[in-house]
Amino acid sequence: MHMNIKMQMAEADNAVFAVGTVDLPDADYATQRAALDAGARAQSQRRTRRTSG
């Protein structure tokens, strides 16, 4: 499944944020759930690499 991701920087007071949006291929709940699950897995893998390296 191909998904376009757009990232943008945002500032509020003295904080800087990365804001991202994902364009899903359809509005189906299963597609939304798959995208959220994939994001959670990727975040977990990044966390594991940081703590094991």
39 and 21 in contact (C-beta within 8 Å)?
A: no
Q: For the whole prediction, is pTM greater than 0.75?
A: no
pLDDT of residue 50: 75
pLDDT of residue 1: 66
Give tens-digit pLDDT for 1-53: 677 889 999 999 999 999 888 899 999 999 999 988 988 898 888 888 877 75
pLDDT of residue 2: 73
pLDDT of residue 22: 86
pLDDT of residue 53: 59
